[in-house]
Structure 1
Amino acid sequence: MQTEINFDGIIGPSHNYAGLSHGNLAATRNRGLVSRPRAAALEGVAKMRANIALGLIQGVLLPHARPDRHWLASLGTNYADAAPHLQAQALSASPMWAANAATVSPAPDTEDGRCHLTVANLVTMPHRSHEWPETLAQLRLAFANPAFAVHGPVPAPFGDEGAANHMRLAASHDAPGVEVFVYGEAGGPFPARQHREASAAIARVHGVKQALFVRQSDEAIAAGAFHNDVVAVANGRVLFAHEQAFADKENFFTDLRAALPGVEIVEVPAAQVSLEDAIRSYLFNAQLVTLPSGEMALILPAEARDTPSVWNWLQAHVAGNGPIRRLAVVDVRQSMANGGGPACLRLRVVADAVTIDPRFLVDDTRLDAIAAVIETYWPETIAQEQIGDPALIARIETAREKLLEMLRIVELIDR
């Protein structure tokens, strides 16, 4: 049975606040603060538990080897001798944000009837540009069944940031849908990370039968919406977006209504929730999901509840006749402080669960085992002046190895 499965990135033991992501306002604002990798990873586990309690199927993607010694070797150096900025880029725990792992086109949408995944190249940011080889290795393990086709990255220089700039709308998860590829062109002082050429290439490679290519507004990028999922999210027949999310929303909405009759567009007016409040609270970087009851729920960061304009709008929507019927608040403050909310932490895959390598699927018992490894091996804190400390690096590498051994995904240890 085709259903949606959320694969959350387990927050890695090297989680720190190096402020590497230009255009990500939270990451820049919190640069140099002391991070709490253990607390961060346990927050992620608690989020997955909450999803399971809602009746959702939950999977995981795993921390990458950090520091990335292969990447440093390709630059002619090693971790001990590397300049501090290269050490920080090699140590980044950014693979935790699984929404940037790949773009996923479910089987009902594609010409050959397979689920296609293209690993994101993430070439715009140096600290993320070296993620794709290990992400690809994980995807090829998890989705080795012939029901899937896993593709390598779009070549540089065409930037691709994965599912964070991709939405899917359909009458149901197992019905043919329309895929919306959102790209950028300008963002004031910040780079537009998703190129239209990359989006078009993925649609061709996947054989997507119905695709729309939509430009993100310059205003949204300049305000700190470095990915589309900071200002818009979709699920089922519902598009939930900020009024200023798209450059030409009228034509987009017209095309979307023609492609998917019955689509519901829930637009949050800027007069009620400013772009600044939407981005600070990550209102749209929420998981919009369909529960087993058929109701639609919005899984939100605590910051959304703490922002009066956002919470007032949400309360009014739920009290009315809107399609979002339930609000679920989760605490992912450590991830939020580095610029990633609930939606950043997950990759959505529509598939039959029996076709997925079971090592990548979790229930409460497996989450107990993951939490035990985190509590034992993850560093409690990392200060920026520690990132060159050999003892810290040894602990980070041991922690990941212990997790992979416990999950019996040892193929990834020596990558």
Structure 2
Amino acid sequence: MRKGSIPFENRLKAVRASHGLSQSDLAERAAITRQAVSSIESNLYLPTTAVALRLAAALGCRVEDLFSLASPEDVIEGSLIGEPPADRHQAAPVRVKVSLVGKRPVVRPVTGLGEVLSFTVPADGYLIEGRAHRSGGAVRVRLTRDRRAIEREISVAGCDPAIFLAGEHLRRQKDDTSVVGWTMGSMAALHALQQGEVHVAGLHLFDPTTGESNLPFLRRMLKGSGYEVVTFATWEEGFLVRPGNPKSIRTAADLADPSVSIVNREEGAGARLLLDQRLRAAGVDPASVQGYGRTVSSHVDVARAVAGHQADAGVGIRSAAQLFGLDFVPLQAARYDLVVPKTYLKSHPTLARLFDTLASRPFRSEIEALGGYDTRDMGKSHSLREGRA
């Protein structure tokens, strides 16, 4: 059928290329001519139902993964979290991610994902000009994904970059759910959850008095029993130092040396809490530590600063040290838990599948391969009530 004025989305070429097939390869598999494949990919012809089914079977996917009717422009209004880059070109559209948290559309600029992910994570839409774009304000977004995909998107706040792997494992199960991780410290993540800005908060806050991770803080901050607390993993936290540890940094007391400089995490981050606890135990005044007031927003940023000789040390996780080829001085093992309102587990179409993925052996194996993660308790639930596991 010759293509006319039908609004038509054609993803055949992209899917074929992702399988490493030439047009001739695909034509042979689908029992059609190479010219037919070329004409369809060039939008010269719409495939018949029979041809579309053959192509989908040859590529191991659904027909709708290859062809669909283009949706008319869809606009949604939501609450903006964060602000667009101030120095952006006036004519450039602002790329955003959109998630439905409860019944509230939440909009965040893609740039909030960081310098690398903002180039690799596709936008859900673009801000519509015509009003001031300020954090907390209402904005309108022209969607570039259908609303069903928006409704299935899972927004997670925390500081473990491995959460993106959960989304990849969901897709391996033919699930089109997106998992988007917004990097922030433990207390900021919990605040975002309480404000209805994300579906899930990840945190690692160790209480030296009780020897427990997270639960003492959550019991003080969260009211009622309307939350599930599920372990993601237990990870090693310690000092990230340059190869060979040239400044011989072993304990917090070594940070008092005027020749040693550190890079710190923001207030409320689990790594910052650990550093403060160790400095206090060693009798070291934080003000005497070179670089204490210089902060970055993630474990990866700590590792990058140390690897780039911008600091001699910083507190972070072992996997970040391994990523940048740094040495690691362990201080403690802490549990990284995910906190989610029970109402979201019931109302969100795919959120429960995320936690099912955590319990799967393939996902655990991949997380363990990152290094510095203990997944034996991955998927284990914890009660916020005193005295209950």
TM-score, length-normalised on structure 2? 0.25
Bigger share in helix: 1
Larger radius of gyration: 2
TM-score, length-normalised on structure 1? 0.24
Bigger share in strand: 2
If asked which structure has higher relative contact order (CA below 8 Å, sep 6+), I would say: 1
